[in-house]
Amino acid sequence: MRTVIGLEVHAQLLTKTKLFCSCSAEYFGAPPNTHTCPVCLGMPGALPVLNERAVEYALMAALALHCEIPQRSTFARKNYFYPDLPKGYQISQFDEPLAIRGFVELPTGKRVRIRRVHLEEDAGKLLHTETGVSLVDFNRAGVPLIEIVSEPELSSPKEARLYMEELRRILRYLGVCSGDMEEGSLRCDANISVSPDAQLGTKIEVKNMNSFKAVEAALDYEVRRQRQILERGGSVVQETRLWNEKTGETEPMRAKEESEDYRYFPDPDLVPLQIDDSWKQKIDLPELPAAKRARFAQEYQLPEYDIAVLTEERPIAEYFEAVVKLYQHPKDVSNWMMSELLRLLKEQRSLEIPMKPEHFAQVLQMVRSGQITRTVAKDVIEESFKTGKAPQEIVREKGLGQISDEGLLAEIVTKVLAENPKAVADFRAGKEAALGFLQGQVMKATSGKADPHKVRALLLEKLRH
């Protein structure tokens, strides 16, 4: 059986204002219905004015997805009746979208073709209370979205997830979308079919997944469900289903509507959007994830795993390169960043790195030159990260320099051996592991400052006598 998946992804654009009015688009957490005006509330006679920044962001995304941009695109009214839609229609693009025929290159190298990218406005949000009352909040109504429609050529739930993750990376690199699936800034309708032969099967559309994990899980469930139907000789009926996070199953929502149901027609209030070459040429794209991955592999000879971690977010990748410029040992920088820096960033829940790249490079330099131990380096990184202090200063102030004075170390080693007769006996009886324990005791006694190589040599020397 062959699985085929195509995704329709909605990404909220990070503009200051809405798509057709000057209401603030930064509605998250705001009191209901405070970001509204006659335009986004659909009052009779109110006229939309297109937000130029939203077009620019959509263009950036489309170009980053290698799309063609037709000179002309148009806005259409998609008509349907639902309480979160104040005008009774959504302004979208239909037969003349902003962009067509692009592709996304996955980290695996596979290219997934993009059918179209178009601009549209978001709807409001319904809140269903426990008392059976439904409330509506129009703060989100009119917020700009792009819809990115892939061709049906993803071949597994796992690949669909990789595709979503890559899209998110691209949009975040561009700074046009926060990519937050839990907040709903990035949403996905997944279409999936299973067929016994090369022909495309009947597709099911699945909605309501709010994490990458949920996208994969919902599609996994659908593969199993549809296979079962076909294997029992039945046929899949085209419909839209909802993912239920609690049960881990998809449930029928409605029979699939056709585009004819929406009675699309050109919006008479909006002129066609003209995008000439000069506008396209003005758009500056940053280095995108796929290109960065390829360059990192070439320039720094890093393992694939390191490259994936370091290029996941632009600020991380840029920090890595800034440190490597000052301390030319890429794998070393990568290891320290992945273990220490990323942990600290996760703790502070933001990608703004308060520690200067110079300071990070200095710590690694001090380790390399033997001035401090690796154990101490971890503390120095944390302190410098949290206070902004220079590593040299921290080491000086706290007396964290490595202890390599043999006389002093010998004294400590003797003391540790005297205090741990059992470990000494174990080692002499052939238990090699006891050495590690004793070494750990010496490091503890020196707050991690003892030169580990010298400690080991001294321990062995004394233990063998």
For the CA atoms of the chain, what is the radius of gyration?
Answer: 29
Partner from ligand ADP, Zn ion, none contacting 273, C-beta within 5 to 8 A by type: none
- Each residue of 140-151: b (16+ CB within 10 Å) or e? bbbbbbbbbbbe
Partner from ligand ADP, Zn ion, none contacting 7, C-beta within 5 to 8 A by type: ligand ADP
- Stretch near ligand ADP under the rule CB under 6 A, chosen from 35-43, 196-204, 285-293, 300-308: 196-204
Distance CA 115, CA 347 (A): 40
* Cα distances (Å, whole numbers) of residue 22 to 27, 47, 93, 185, 274: 13, 12, 21, 20, 22
Pairing mode, strands 99-105 and 144-150: unpaired
50 contacts ligand ADP (rule: CB under 6 A): no
The binding track of 135-154 with respect to ligand ADP, each residue x by CB under 6 A or -, is: --------------xxxx--
- For 139, residues 6+ apart whose C-beta sits below 8 A from its C-beta are 27, 30, 32, 33, 34, 35, 36, 124, 125
Answer whether 401's CB lies under 8 Å from 367's CB. Answer: no
CA 85, 88, 90 angle in degrees (round to 5)?
Answer: 65
Nearest approach, Cβ of 151 to ligand ADP (angstroms)? 5
What torsion, rounded to 10 degrees, do the Cα atoms 196, 198, 202, 208 define? Answer: 90
Nearer to ligand ADP, 70 or 152 (CB): 152
Answer whether 215's CB lies under 8 Å from 209's CB. Answer: yes
DSSP code of residue 364: H
Q: DSSP readout, 4-28?
A: EEEEEEEEE---SB-SSSSSBS--T
Nearer to ligand ADP, 226 or 384 (CB): 226
285 contacts ligand ADP (rule: CB under 6 A): no
Nearer to Zn ion, 40 or 171 (CB): 40
Partner from ligand ADP, Zn ion, none contacting 191, C-beta within 5 to 8 A by type: ligand ADP
239 contacts ligand ADP (rule: CB under 6 A): no
Phi/psi class of residue 162: alpha, beta or left (left: φ > 0; alpha: ψ in -120 to 50)? alpha
Nearest approach, Cβ of 6 to ligand ADP (angstroms)? 2
Nearer to ligand ADP, 256 or 295 (CB): 256
- For 399, residues 6+ apart whose C-beta sits below 8 A from its C-beta are none
143 contacts Zn ion (rule: CB under 5 A): no
The binding track of 26-65 with respect to Zn ion, each residue x by CB under 5 A or -, is: -----------x-xx-------------------------
Nearer to ligand ADP, 107 or 152 (CB): 152
Q: Tell me the residue nearest to ligand ADP as measured from the CB.
A: 6
Nearer to ligand ADP, 4 or 364 (CB): 4
Partner from Zn ion, ligand ADP, none contacting 40, C-beta within 5 to 8 A by type: Zn ion
Give which of 122, 215, 116 is closest to 163, Cα–Cα. 215
Nearer to Zn ion, 37 or 390 (CB): 37
Answer whether 420's CB lies under 8 Å from 438's CB. Answer: yes
Angle between helices 374-387 and 391-398 (to 10 degrees): 110
Nearer to ligand ADP, 257 or 405 (CB): 257
Site for Zn ion in 7-26 (CB under 5 A): 21, 23
List 134's β-bridge partners, or say none: 128
The binding track of 307-336 with respect to ligand ADP, each residue x by CB under 6 A or -, is: ------------------------------
SS3 content of the chain, % helix, strand, coil (to 5): 40, 20, 40
Nearest approach, Cβ of 10 to Zn ion (angstroms)? 20
The binding track of 244-283 with respect to ligand ADP, each residue x by CB under 6 A or -, is: ---------------x------------------------
230 contacts ligand ADP (rule: CB under 6 A): no
275 contacts Zn ion (rule: CB under 5 A): no
Distance CA 94, CA 319 (A): 42
Beta strands, E only, 74-201: 76-79, 89-92, 99-105, 111-121, 125-128, 134-137, 144-150, 186-195
Nearer to ligand ADP, 149 or 326 (CB): 149
Nearest approach, Cβ of 258 to ligand ADP (angstroms)? 7
Answer whether 84's CB lies under 8 Å from 136's CB. Answer: yes
Partner from Zn ion, ligand ADP, none contacting 416, C-beta within 5 to 8 A by type: none
The binding track of 156-195 with respect to ligand ADP, each residue x by CB under 6 A or -, is: -----------------------------------xxx--
Nearest approach, Cβ of 125 to Zn ion (angstroms)? 15
Beta strands, E only, 80-163: 89-92, 99-105, 111-121, 125-128, 134-137, 144-150
Nearer to ligand ADP, 145 or 192 (CB): 192
* Residues lying near Zn ion in the complex (CB under 5 A): 21, 23, 37, 39-40
* Residues lying near ligand ADP in the complex (CB under 6 A): 4-8, 149-152, 191-193, 200-201, 203, 259
